[in-house]
Amino acid sequence: MIEKYIPPDWAFDFHGHRCPFMPIGYRMGKLAMEFLGVEREKDHGFFVFPEIGEGHPQTCMVDGMQASTGATYGKVLIEKTHYGKLAATFYHPKKGAVRYSLKPNFIDSFGKFKFFMFRKKGVEPSEIPQKAADKVINWVYEQTDDFMFKVEPLKEFNFLPVKGSFNKEKCSICGEYVFERYLRMKDGKPVCIPCSGYKKL
């Protein structure tokens, strides 16, 4: 296993426990960056669209993708599609897009580890014996990229991020500042969404 695909300790600290999915997402991000020829994102120029949904345990992959690529939720560079698939598209406006997905054969072999018996019984990853967690994590480190990932360059992929703006106004009801794209009008006055009475955006 190549060292650079193994997450640094800070990534495990950030994630909170030792599971095999965060490292898989980390490696996916690293490989996609190499494929596209991009560096870890410092600012706002690289986007990740994980196809992960919710209510399935593999969502931890998304933390690994954030750690390796620098495309984080806080910088609005990552957005889940909620397809419920173990895949993600990585996009750089100047370099193009590539989709990485986990191959079914890999997922099947992976699922046989004891770690998942604990998970299926509802044991949280931090409560699973370290030995069982390390066994599956180390096994993943030893697998080849080709066994794990399907790689698809996406020629037609396009995405326009929301344009940033510093414009804001005070809500006429609660007096708090609201950025302009979230302002609503009520009785001819600007209001925030909670004060507007709208249930949804």
Residues that bind Zn ion (CB under 5 A): 19, 22, 60, 171, 173-174, 192, 195
Return all residues near 147 (Cβ < 8 A) that are at least 6 apart. 103, 105, 106
- Smallest gap from residue 185 Cβ to Zn ion (A): 12
Which of 31/195 has CB closer to Zn ion?
195
Which of 19/87 has CB closer to Zn ion?
19
- Smallest gap from residue 200 Cβ to Zn ion (A): 16
Specify the DSSP class assigned to residue 139: H
Which of 68/92 has CB closer to Zn ion?
68
Return all residues near 154 (Cβ < 8 A) that are at least 6 apart. 89, 96, 97, 98, 99
Is residue 91 classed as helix, strand or coil in its secondary structure? Answer: strand
Q: How far apart are CA 116 and CA 25, in angstroms?
A: 18
- Smallest gap from residue 25 Cβ to Zn ion (A): 9
- Smallest gap from residue 38 Cβ to Zn ion (A): 25
Which of 87/195 has CB closer to Zn ion?
195
